[in-house]
Amino acid sequence: MTDHAVFIHSTGTGPFMWKRLMAGLPDGLPAVTPVNRGYAPHDLMARGTPFEIPMDLAHVKQQLPADATGLHLVAHSYGGLLAMQLALDPEVPVKSLWLYEPVMFGSMKALSAQNPERLPAAVMADLQGVFANTRLFNDLEVGGTDTWLEGFVDYWSAPGVWAAMPDKVKDMNRAVGWKMFMEVRSQALLERPVSDYRFDTPVTLLHGALSPSPAQEMVRQLALVNPQAQVEVLEGLAHMSLITQADAVLPAFRAHWARLGLAG
């Protein structure tokens, strides 16, 4: 029986995204890299397949080591939302959380409606713009298609990124396009209060200084309800830099383990 680091991937990616970051794991800490529903070749979701977040939670839980005494959850974006949900599950022995821009647009929508004074005006404006884009969350005809994928990829990266992608990479996204859309839609519908995500374990929250303002604000709001959290603002980085510039994220990753008293 031993502790494990569990790496939970984000929308449109897979366990491969963690390859470089795993170089910063403490010696002797085993790693587990579960795959979310709809990403394995035998598990692809056809258009119209129903999906809700509990399906991913159950799927990830099935891949956790049964003999683990404790789990250190490492996650990005949508994977961060799954990690937070797992950390609230009494059956999952979570010892720490390392979260790079966990997304929770539904929680932010609820916050903007109920306590708008808690959000900077610029963030409010950006959130209103996101939710005004009905294709992003609600259009079942467009969701997961090239039109939707372009909007999604360009939002989290930069305008023109989808158009510049090689066809091989586009095809990888197309294969999981419906599941990607359903992840985005499901988390936007989950209007759970941010205050629910209060943890008793050590937490590291990270965001890129160049990321969209709602993603940065999600980290700030989580830090408000988790005063024990260490917040890392990574200058010059953005939402997808965890994958594209992993070496620049490694120091913050290693610092997390150092704070836990584990050797890097």
- The CA-based diameter of the chain, rounded to the nearest angstrom, is 50
Task: Find the helix or strand (DSSP H, E) in which 99 lies.
Answer: strand 94-100
Q: What whole-number distance in Å separates Cα of residue 103 and Cα of residue 81? A: 6
Instruction: Show me where the domains of the chain are located.
Output: 2-103+196-259, 108-188
Tell me what pLDDT residue 138 has: 85
Residues 76 and 9 sit within 8 Å (Cβ to Cβ): yes
Sheet holding 230-234, edge to edge: 31-32, 2-8, 68-76, 94-100, 203-208, 230-234
Tokens standing for 2?
């031993």
In the block, residue with structure tokens 């620049």? 248
Residues 45 and 38 sit within 8 Å (Cβ to Cβ): yes
**Partners of 32 in the beta sheet?**
6
| DSSP code per residue over 180-198 | HHHHHHHHHH----GGG--
Task: Find the helix or strand (DSSP H, E) in which 6 lies.
Answer: strand 2-8
Tokens standing for 13?
């990616």
In the block, residue with structure tokens 């890129």? 208
Architecture in CATH of 2-103+196-259: 3-Layer(aba) Sandwich (3.40)
CA distances from 62 to 6, 7, 11, 55 (A): 13, 14, 19, 11
Q: What whole-number distance in Å separates Cα of residue 173 and Cα of residue 178? A: 9
Tell me what pLDDT residue 2 has: 87
Task: Find the helix or strand (DSSP H, E) in which 38 lies.
Answer: none
Helix (H, G, I), strand (E, B) or coil at 140: coil
Stated pTM of the model: 0.96
Q: Quick one: how far is CA 156 from the chain centroid?
A: 12
Q: What whole-number distance in Å separates Cα of residue 31 and Cα of residue 23? A: 11
Q: What's the burial of 264, exposed, middle or buried (CB within 10 Å: 0-12/13-18/19+)?
A: middle
Query: How would you write the pLDDT of the chain (264 residues) with one tens digit per residue?
Result: 589 999 999 999 999 999 999 999 999 999 999 999 999 999 999 999 999 999 999 999 999 998 889 999 999 999 999 999 999 999 999 999 999 999 999 999 999 999 999 999 999 999 999 988 877 888 899 999 999 999 999 999 999 999 999 999 999 999 999 999 999 999 999 999 999 999 999 999 999 999 999 999 999 999 999 999 999 999 999 999 999 999 999 999 999 999 999 965
Tell me what pLDDT residue 133 has: 83
